[in-house]
Structure 1
Amino acid sequence: MDKTFATAAEAVADIPSGASLAVGGFGLSGVPITLIRALLDREVDGLEVVSNNCGVDGWGLGLLLAEGRIRRIIASYIGENKEFGRQYLSGEVEVELTPQGTLAERLRAGGVGIPAFYTATGAGTAVSDGGMPLRYAPDGSVALASEPKELRPFTTFGRSREYVLEQAIRTDYGLVRAAVGDRHGNLRFEKSTRNFNPLAGMAGRITIAEVDELVEPGVLGPDDIHLPGIYVDRVVELTPEQAADLPIEKATVRPRPAASATDRGDAAEPAAAASAEEAR
């Protein structure tokens, strides 16, 4: 039952070129960066990646993208990754843009064995009608477009509307980042890192988790476990340096107001002096 691996390199050693990967993370939060870097060192290519976004230039999945290792991406948005946008528009990578909630449910459905589901999101748009550019040609024309999806009317809450059929996603591997994990693979995630990490872990046939802290089985209570070990096959404990590698995608700051005398503690000085005089 001990699923721990000594290093990230050992944990990803069998991932071949052409594999499909469900990768956790939301922006730069909860990205399994150590596993990604270990995969980068292996020089595998032709990867199909499913993730909310594809990292940023120089970090996260952006590292694999910049080296030309990714063939196809299923994501919610291109985000701040200029290289992602460049490769998409130049026809170097195939991109299936999917509504964020739909992507989350496609991953979850794959993890629980539901082959497809109907959703109102995207019905009557290019999502269901087809024609969305999946791959561009070098001259800027559309080389490959999405196919139409099945629509079906349902009546809910007394209202009839059309719903689009979406296919579940199941990948060869899942790569996730957790705050705490035990040797049996039970995982706990911190705050917004829960957005896509549990779903990516569920969707992978073989799921590999990097964890900030490794604990013994039983330390995590049942209510503290966000992804049960039944979904997790390998666990790698990060070093303190690796765990602390948490960049900020966009720093938003404002000028700090000038400190008042009270904030500086100046007002307390006369009172302290008076008290000292009284004590004497």
Structure 2
Amino acid sequence: MIDKTFPSAADAVADIPDGASLAVGGFGLSGNPIALIEALLARGTTDLSVVSNNCGVDDWGLGVLLQARRIRKMTSSYVGENKEFERQFLSGELELELTPQGTLAEKLRAGGSGIAAFFTQTGVGTQVADGGLPRRYTPDGSVAVASPPKDVRVFDVHGSPREFVLEEAIVTDFALVHARRGDTAGNLVFNKAARNFNPLAAMAGRICIAEVEELVEPGELDPDHIHLPGIFVHRIIEVGTEIEKRIEKRTVAASDGNGGR
């Protein structure tokens, strides 16, 4: 059995070149492959095209690459937690392909499954299908690049004709993901909501690099509990269970003094 372990995050990302495309797991700050992101930052890799649900926050997750001007284009479904993202996009420094969240998930899954494209009702009758969404602005605020119109077809669904828009799959050069446990063969187990986009991002990358909190030998993971088989993972590093995991917004209520809230 092939041992896919690498000694460090720096070694695992060492051959990611300038201009590469990346699929990156995470949702908000949950499940971010922060060790791999920081290793890429330290290496100085730039001109990246990144596909991820969002771009972290100003000082965490993909936001650290954005702050350092390492990202050329983002393909995301949500960008509202990052002020630097807003500044770069509106000033024409960053290209954005805004994509409905479920569509983005399916584009990644399709790419990993060898499906070239698919039809969905999501976005029909909007600029998602009709085109015209700003992808890049000029410094004066005018639109430099807009999204093109997409193919829309009518299909009969249960006797009712409905319009569907064609969405192309996403395949990237590399994928960066975070998992709770993994074995040296690349089989991964994610932790609850931190699973999010990680398996889909992993599938879409031609080379998938996974960071895991706990690394075990093949056979130690229950086959029924494996969320992503090792066939999709090419490199794996162990980052330890004490790796920092941030929360975007923590909301708590005062205790009533009797153990309740």
In the alignment, is residue 11 of structure 1 matched against residue 30 of structure 2?
no
Structure with greater helix percent: 1
Q: Could you say which residue in structure 2 is the equivalent of 1:249?
A: 248
Q: Moved runs in structure 1, 4+ residues, more than 4 A?
A: none
Please give the residue correspondences for 1:180-259 in structure 2 after superposition, counting only pairs within 5 Å: 180-242=181-243, 245-259=244-258
1:136-168 deviations in whole A, cap 9, x for unaligned? 110011111000000000111221110000000
1:56-88 deviations in whole A, cap 9, x for unaligned? 010000000000000000000102111111111
1:88-140 deviations in whole A, cap 9, x for unaligned? 11111000000000000000000010000000000111000000000011001
For the pair shown, the structure with the greater C-alpha radius of gyration is 1
How many percent of aligned residue pairs carry the same amino acid?
66
Distance in 1 (alpha carbons) for counterparts of 2:178 and 2:4: 15
Please give the residue correspondences for 1:257-272 in structure 2 after superposition, counting only pairs within 5 Å: 257-259=256-258
1:191-219 deviations in whole A, cap 9, x for unaligned? 11222000000000000000000011011
Q: Could you say which residue in structure 1 is the equivalent of 2:54?
A: 53
TM-score, structure 2 normalization: 0.97
Q: Could you say which residue in structure 1 is the equivalent of 2:159?
A: 158
Partner letter of residue 255 of structure 1? A
Shift of 1:258: 3.6
2:177 is paired with a residue whose SS is strand
Unmatched tracts of structure 2, length 5 or more: none
Partner letter of residue 172 of structure 1? D
Report how many residues are paired: 259
Shift of 1:29: 0.5
1:256 is paired with a residue whose SS is coil
RMSD: 1.1
Unmatched tracts of structure 1, length 5 or more: 264-280
Please give the residue correspondences for 1:103-114 in structure 2 after superposition, counting only pairs within 5 Å: 103-114=104-115
Please give the residue correspondences for 1:13-162 in structure 2 after superposition, counting only pairs within 5 Å: 13-162=14-163
Shift of 1:239: 3.1
Partner letter of residue 164 of structure 1? V
Shift of 1:240: 4.1
